[in-house]
Amino acid sequence: MSDALPVVEVEGLVRRFGELTAVDGVSFEVRRGEIFGFLGPNGAGKSTTIKILATLLEPTAGRAAIAGHDVVREPLRVREAIGIIFQDNSLDDRLTADQNLYIHSLLYDLPRDVYRARADALLEMVDLTERRKGLVRTYSGGMRRRLEIARGLLHRPEVLFLDEPTVGLDPQTRSAMWQHVLRVRDEGNVTVFMTTHYLDEAEHCDRIAIIDHGRVVALGSPEELKRQVGGDVMVVGASAAEDVARDIGERYCVDVTRADDGLRFQVDDGATFIPRLTADFQGRISSVSVHRPTLDDVFLKLTGRAIREEEATSKDQLRMVARAFGRGRRR
């Protein structure tokens, strides 16, 4: 197969669960050798899409192919062509790293000498050579994830799928994980398809598809997407937020969104806008900041919501708990 052909092709993919449409007509292509990211909030349809691509779930409509093989008609071919790492740890923790890899090599019918050579190289790559004879039970979360990467690559897949691979890992381990993923791509010439709801992680991807309510709302490199937002992003704090938002919108003809950190809107040049704003709204605003657009701004612009809404929700739940215990009523 030629390098120019996309290694993942998805066209009009739909998946319903009863009344619910989890994946709603998704189309995209992944180029060979790139890191492609699916970015979206919880419930957007990321895992459902990955499961369909990995032949674990049938689509309701549309088609998908991996390395030229249709996921519905040639599932075995597809399985040979992919490695997959789910959010939940799927290692046998009563076994050692070596034993986990060996079982995987049996599943894929790898000759013993091939298995040995690859296991050595992969364990080296993920920095687990010294601990290879230790029980997985004794591993940290980051070590387990690295072992899963090694295992996912043992049969030399063309595409490695990672579903939220860094959820639950501390920031340092997350960043180490990324070094490994980048290495997998560069050294193994593997295409990486991953999902995440961390905006900062999506920055590592060559291209990302932003997915919301089962639909791709934007697709491109992180830079391209941020350029779509254009200009600078202003974040303004105000106690009478509603009134100030309306007045800013009317005065400067901008769309003002209320976000966690304040009122947000875009202007062409933030630096010259600040003095004008502070003069016009003297006494009505408490803070002003300006930044270059982030992927969060892209998401906000496209959907009117922040991607971290579920985190806001959990904050609200905490507040409710606090209230139930008689605290948090101060205002």
Binding site for ligand ADP (CB under 6 A): 17, 20, 22, 40, 42-48
Interhelix angle 141-153/97-107, rounded to 10 degrees, is 30
Using Cβ positions, the residue closest to Mg ion within the complex turns out to be 47
Residue 222 near which of Mg ion, ligand ADP, none (CB within 5-8 Å, type-dependent): none
Which residue number, 100 or 195, has a Cβ lying nearer to ligand ADP? 195
- What's the min distance (Å) between Cβ of 196 and Mg ion? 10
State both tokens at 72: 């519905």
CB-based burial label for 206 (10 Å; 0-12, 13-18, 19+)? middle
Backbone dihedral angles phi then psi of residue 44, each to the nearest 5 degrees: -70, -20
Backbone dihedral angles phi then psi of residue 199, each to the nearest 5 degrees: -65, -40
- What's the min distance (Å) between Cβ of 46 and Mg ion? 5
Which residue number, 155 or 174, has a Cβ lying nearer to Mg ion? 174
Which residue number, 45 or 262, has a Cβ lying nearer to ligand ADP? 45
- What's the min distance (Å) between Cβ of 315 and ligand ADP? 19
Which residue number, 8 or 238, has a Cβ lying nearer to ligand ADP? 8
Question: Strand order in 257-259's β-sheet?
Answer: 257-259, 262-267, 232-237, 287-291
- What's the min distance (Å) between Cβ of 191 and ligand ADP? 20
Q: Is 55 helix (H, G, I), strand (E, B) or coil?
A: coil
Which residue number, 86 or 252, has a Cβ lying nearer to ligand ADP? 86
Residue 196 near which of Mg ion, ligand ADP, none (CB within 5-8 Å, type-dependent): none
Q: Is 261 left (phi over 0), alpha (psi -120 to 50) or beta?
A: alpha
Residue 143 near which of Mg ion, ligand ADP, none (CB within 5-8 Å, type-dependent): none
Question: Under rule CB under 5 A, which residues in 21-50 are in contact with Mg ion?
Answer: 46-47
In the complex, which residues of this chain contact Mg ion (CB under 5 A)? Answer: 46-47
